[in-house]
Amino acid sequence: MARLRAFEANGGVVYDLLLAKKRNKLSKARQLKLDQEILKKRTQVATNETFGNIAILNKGKKTATAQFLRSIRTA
């Protein structure tokens, strides 16, 4: 509170300061969300490629190896 009083006494406008902080916070939140979406898309592309290459996962057999690999895939 003392910092805000000093800021105001030195000619600053508290409303503008709070508005700038809010905009900065929203900007960082948008950037974080965008980064998470990009990361999610990259991992989906990478995992889709590797899952299609394992033949045992594409077959419908219920062998122990297939069940083990499917459990790893969904983990």
> DSSP states of 20-73 as a string?
HHHHHHHHHHHHHHHHHHHHHHHHHHHHHHHHHH-HHHHS----HHHHHHHHHH
How many structural domains comprise the chain?
1
Domain that holds residue 38: 2-74
Say what the pLDDT of residue 55 is.
Answer: 73
Of 48-52, 65-69, 71-75, the range with the highest mean pLDDT is 65-69
pLDDT tens readout for residues 3-47: 888 888 888 888 998 999 999 999 999 999 999 998 888 877 766
Q: What is the pTM of this model?
A: 0.45
Largest alpha-carbon pair distance within the chain? 76
